[in-house]
């Protein structure tokens, strides 16, 4: 039997894949702004799975940051707690303008310690509906490892750009 229009609409409406495809976040830009360069906006690149950016720890052995939707300080993504990290329970808040003083901080938690020059790959993942879902990072290690990781990231970014 042929599907009626309401059955088709019902199935389409409740399919999370359709939500993700219709989300505007994947086609928007995200900028990261942090202590490493006085909170200047740097573009996070879409690699097909998430938005990513490489950060190098400075002399303090830690760096703090927020993520801005389309580079606007009125649309920041930030943790619900001060010095949020993947190692400290928090919620992803925003995008809005209420995140002043609430930053993610890498190199601060005991599980996350680093030395000046240590590189971290920061990733903003979208949830199943295509909305900002999680901010996390991982320590890359020394310069040679970071260059290999950056090369892989650039390949993923180029592939993702071709698919857009």
Q: What is the pLDDT of residues 78-116, one digit of tens each?
A: 999 999 999 999 999 999 999 999 999 999 889 989 899
What region does 76 belong to: left with phi over 0, alpha with psi -120 to 50, or beta? beta
Query: Is 80 exceeded by the pLDDT of residue 25?
Result: no
Has this prediction a pTM greater than 0.85?
no
Query: Which residues is 52 bridged to in the sheet?
Result: 45, 123
114-153: b or e for each residue (b if 16 or more CB lie within 10 Å)?
beeebbbbbbbebeeebebeebebebbeeeeebeebeeeb
Tokens read off for 78: 């930030």
pLDDT in tens, 103-156: 999 998 899 898 999 999 999 999 888 889 999 999 987 677 777 888 888 888
CA–CA distance from 77 to each of 41, 71, 115, 161 (Å)? 13, 11, 26, 24
Inter-residue contact 81 to 88 (CB < 8 Å): yes
* CA–CA distance, 33 with 13 (Å, rounded to integer): 36
The residue extents of the domains of the chain are 5-163
Interacting residues of 41 by C-beta distance below 8 A, sequence separation 6+: 31, 32, 33, 68, 71
Where are the alpha helices (H) located in the chain, listed in sequence order?
5-13, 16-22, 143-163
pLDDT in tens, 33-64: 999 999 999 999 998 889 999 999 999 999 99
* CA–CA distance, 70 with 62 (Å, rounded to integer): 25
Confirm or reject CATH 2.60.40.3620 for domain 5-163, answering yes or no.
yes
């Amino acid at each position: 039997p042929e599907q009626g229009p309401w059955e088709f609409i019902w199935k389409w409406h409740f399919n999370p894949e359709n939500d993700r495809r219709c989300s505007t976040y994947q086609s928007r830009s995200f900028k990261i702004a942090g202590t490493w360069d006085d909170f200047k906006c740097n573009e996070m690149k879409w690699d097909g799975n998430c938005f990513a950016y490489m950060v190098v720890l400075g002399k303090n052995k830690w760096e703090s940051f927020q993520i801005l939707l389309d580079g606007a300080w009125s649309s920041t993504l930030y943790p619900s707690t001060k010095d949020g990290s993947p190692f400290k329970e928090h919620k992803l808040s925003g995008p809005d303008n209420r995140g002043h003083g609430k930053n993610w901080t890498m190199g601060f938690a005991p599980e996350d310690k680093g030395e000046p020059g240590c590189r971290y790959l920061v990733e903003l993942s979208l949830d199943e509906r295509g909305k900002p879902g999680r901010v996390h990072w991982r320590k890359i290690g020394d310069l040679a490892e970071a260059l290999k990781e950056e090369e892989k990231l650039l390949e993923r970014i180029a592939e993702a750009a071709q698919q857009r």
